[in-house]
Amino acid sequence: MPDAVLLSPTAAPTAVRSAAAAAVSTPVPLPAPSEPLSAPNLRLSYDYAVGMVVMEFRDSAGETRSSIPSERELDAYRRAVLTGAELPGEVTGPTES
């Protein structure tokens, strides 16, 4: 078995330390937003027909702008439930309670 090798820490070169210190201490100005930022207007609802949660994103007037799943996808899930077709993914459909 070879003899143990001892390693000692070495200091980083001066140029690297100086660049790192300058990067940390120099603040970077952020650009001003072009329009005021607002919190997302999110609404969660449960679609009983397909047994899944729907996330609706609304604009400042309260109108739905998009949803997950989309309205088209929800229609496909509803048709699958009505016709008895296989549901995509891990969706199991509504449960009887």
> Is 61 contained in some domain?
yes
53, 94 contact by CB (below 8 A): no
Averaged over 4-26, what is the pLDDT?
62
Is the separation of the CB atoms in 57 and 64 below 8 Å?
yes
Q: How far out from the chain centre does Cα 85 lie?
A: 31
Domain boundaries, position 71: 38-86
Q: What is the pLDDT of residues 18-47, one digit of tens each?
A: 666 655 667 778 777 776 666 678 899 998
Report if residue 96 sits inside a domain. no
Q: Judge whether residue 53 has pLDDT over 90.
A: yes
Distance CA 84, CA 72 (A): 18
Q: Is the pLDDT of residue 51 over 70?
A: yes
**Hunting for tokens 């109108």 — which residue is that?**
63
In a domain, 47, yes or no: yes
Is residue 6 assigned to a domain? Answer: no
Is 60 exceeded by the pLDDT of residue 16?
A: no
- pLDDT value at residue 13: 60
Q: Could you tell me which of 36, 38, 43 has the C-alpha nearest to residue 64?
A: 43
* pLDDT of amino acid 22: 59
Is 4 a member of any domain?
no
Mean pLDDT to the nearest integer, 47-53: 87
Q: For residue range 55-89, list pLDDT tens digits in order.
A: 999 888 888 889 999 989 888 888 888 887 776 66
Total domains in the fold of the chain: 1
Q: CB 62: neighbour CB atoms within 10 A?
A: 8
Residues 65 and 78: their CA atoms lie apart, in Å, by: 21
Residue 92 lies in a domain: no
Inside any domain, residue 9:
no
